[in-house]
Amino acid sequence: MTEARVLANAPWLKSGPAGRVLALLNDGGEEARVVGGAVRNALLGLPVADIDIATTALPEEVIRRAEAAGIKSVPTGIDHGTVTLVLDKHPFEVTTLREDTETFGRKAKVAFGRDWMRDAERRDFTINGLSVDAAGLVHDYVGGLADIAERRVRFIGNATERIAEDYLRILRFFRIHAAYGAGEPDRAGYLACIGGRAGFATLSAERVRMEMLKLMVARGAAGSISAMAESGLLQQIVGGVAYTGPLGAMIDVERMLGFPADAMRRLAALAVAVTEDARRVASRLRLSNAEAKALDSMGHRWWRLAGMDEATAKRRLYRLGAEAYRDRLMLAWARAGGGDAGNWRQLADLPQRWSAPKFPLKAADFISRGIAEGPALGHVMTIAEDAWLAAGFPLEKSAVAGIADQTVARFARDHRL
């Protein structure tokens, strides 16, 4: 049954770059509509970012019209009917209506068509199957309007069949629910995800990483991750123990500190107890070098940051740097159960209250005291830096000189120079 309603407060439909693209394609017997996430977000009162457009026009006709209007076109997925139009630096993916002729996983055979219902039925979830025309009329062929009203994420058609078309939809089900759903996940979809979990083995790590990192920062990440853990799906992704309690605590800590959601911090709370865990997760998800380094740093002896006094915290901050200190401390805080008890907040605020000074001694200070260049010099400087930290970061010349003298004397005594 088809439903429709008028979308209010969407000026981008009739003006600006999106309105111009729609006007370009709504002519000469062809029709174009905005589809997918932009419609969903507009109905939910959420920001609209990427605007995807579907059209009855064939890709060649889309390119012809764009060129005639002086609009840049890029055949980003022309075999699948997708052309990207760039207007005022805004990219718009324009895809010709499609319908499946044969279905066998991600390699389903598709044909271009003109049937908006058939095109909607190819999409994954009902809330993503809506389209809105240039007049602001929302077209619903799959029950998406009712599901948006209920904040319910539901597969279009038979959930088991939709998952078999692309097993990444299992992870997308939990990610979309975390971002837009409410309450418990749709029961039929949840059971279908459990039934299809063996298909995870067919997915590339890169595709899993993309969805997983989006899920980690979603509004309802804690609930969706818990549901995945209870179903046995999460272990297939992280390859080890999943700590859902610390994940929830990390989310609470971020909120208490006013920090934005961070995928690596949350992933560390969920799956990293020691550095070996960090390396396993980084390998399984094919994390970038920077992501893997951040995860490894958080997992390195995070427990040593629990119960620190401020003097110890300053030495940790000096050694780690502000970002790594903050992330490792937050992991220790989350592992302790979160909450605002103890001195956690004071320790977390330290980088805002105190800036670590630079080590005031240079190689020349030790060379002038008789230490030759080479490995010995580096060793002496390390000992001196440790002594300077233990002394509380003194900067007075006499104190600094005293540390240098004592370090050289100690080195000479230990090495009988």
Cα gap 27→160, rounded to integer Å:
39
Which pLDDT belongs to residue 101?
62
Residues 18 and 141 in one domain: yes
Cα gap 383→174, rounded to integer Å:
52
Cα gap 37→48, rounded to integer Å:
8
Which pLDDT belongs to residue 3?
67
How many domains is the chain built from?
4
Residues 22 and 139 in one domain: yes
Angle among Cα 28, 29, 31 to the nearest 5 degrees reads: 105
Which pLDDT belongs to residue 11?
84
Residue whose tokens read 């809330």: 127
Residue where one domain finishes, among candidates 150, 184, 206: 150
Which of 36-51 are b and which e, b meaning 16 or more Cβ less than 10 Å from the residue's Cβ? bbbbbbbbeeeeeeeb
Which pLDDT belongs to residue 414?
81
Residues 146 and 158 in one domain: no
Residues 101 and 170 in one domain: no
* pLDDT tens sequence for the chain (417 residues): 566 688 877 888 888 899 999 999 999 999 999 999 999 999 999 999 889 999 999 999 999 999 999 999 999 988 889 999 999 899 999 999 998 665 555 555 668 999 999 999 999 999 999 999 999 999 999 999 999 999 999 999 999 999 999 999 999 999 999 999 999 999 999 999 999 999 988 999 999 999 999 999 999 999 999 999 998 899 999 999 999 999 999 999 999 999 999 999 999 999 999 999 999 999 999 999 999 999 999 999 999 999 899 999 999 999 999 999 999 999 999 999 998 777 999 999 999 999 999 999 999 999 999 999 999 999 999 999 999 999 999 999 999 999 999 999 999 888 765
Residues 11 and 139 in one domain: yes
Residues 340 and 202 in one domain: no
Residue whose tokens read 């609009």: 71
Give tens-digit pLDDT for 121-148.
Answer: 999 999 999 999 999 999 999 999 999 9
Residue where one domain finishes, among candidates 333, 356, 379: 356
The CATH code of the domain that includes 219 is: 1.10.3090.10
Which pLDDT belongs to residue 16?
87
The CATH code of the domain that includes 127 is: 3.30.460.10
pTM of the predicted structure, to 2 decimals: 0.89
Which pLDDT belongs to residue 186?
97
Helix (H/G/I), strand (E/B), else coil: 137: strand
Residues 189 and 267 in one domain: no
Residues 144 and 12 in one domain: yes
Residues 17 and 37 in one domain: yes
Which residue in 22, 17, 1, 16 sits closest to 132, CA to CA?
22
Residues 258 and 200 in one domain: no
The beta strands (E) that lie in 131-221 are given as 131-132, 137-140
Helix and strand counts by DSSP (H, E) for the chain: 22, 10
Which pLDDT belongs to residue 416?
65
Which pLDDT belongs to residue 8?
79
Residues 100 and 136 in one domain: yes
Residue whose tokens read 């790590």: 205
Which two three-digit tokens encode residue 325? 């200190």
Which pLDDT belongs to residue 7?
87
Which pLDDT belongs to residue 341?
77
Could you tell me the residue range of the domain that residue 370 belongs to?
Answer: 363-415
Residues 135 and 180 in one domain: no
Which pLDDT belongs to residue 359?
97
Residue where one domain finishes, among candidates 190, 213, 230: 230
